[in-house]
Structure 1
Amino acid sequence: GHALSARAVAEGKADIAALDALTWALIQRHDPFATTLREIARTEPTPVLPYITALTRDPEPLFDAISAAIADLSPDDRATLSLRGLVRIPAEAYLAIPNPPPPA
């Protein structure tokens, strides 16, 4: 959806689009229309959405499996997917990031 929003701006069908940093980087890497766009603002970096599992499930084996899968990728594949690895972030730190208020 974000790439379609950016394309709509490039085609003059929209005036502005809000994109996450990874989508913007991928658009710049792969979509020729990116050269017709310009970044007008950037928010402070924040963690991406978390991986979530059931409360009854131990998250450590999942963390280990995903970390191993990322590590097993070739450097080129990791670069293509913009993956470096996983980071453990305490729930309190993640939840402390303020969410913007909903539109009025």
Structure 2
Amino acid sequence: MYTNTQTDSPAKWVVKIEPKYPEDAAKNSVEGYLKFKAIVNEVGALERVEVIESVPKGVFEKEGLRALKLWRFKPALLSGRLVKVEYTNTLEWKL
């Protein structure tokens, strides 16, 4: 397992699906975020997505994870071969 900085060509997202705003959260003017970590695999998909922090808890996780399953990356390269890399990011919901 590598980090993007250890590779010759880091993983870069090419398809980023923005998560929907949960209806109840929008109706009640709730903003928040979801920090996650995952692995970008050799075919450019996220695997083992793990929520690190979600504020407020229980509001954005379901929609955030749904959108992340659709993200696609240009896989990372190291010494001419495709490798898995750790990936961490934050999704935000702002009105």
State the structure with bigger RCO (CA 8 A, min sep 6), 1 or 2. Answer: 2
Q: Greater strand percent: which structure?
A: 2
Decide which structure has greater helix share.
1
Q: TM-score, normalised by structure 2?
A: 0.24
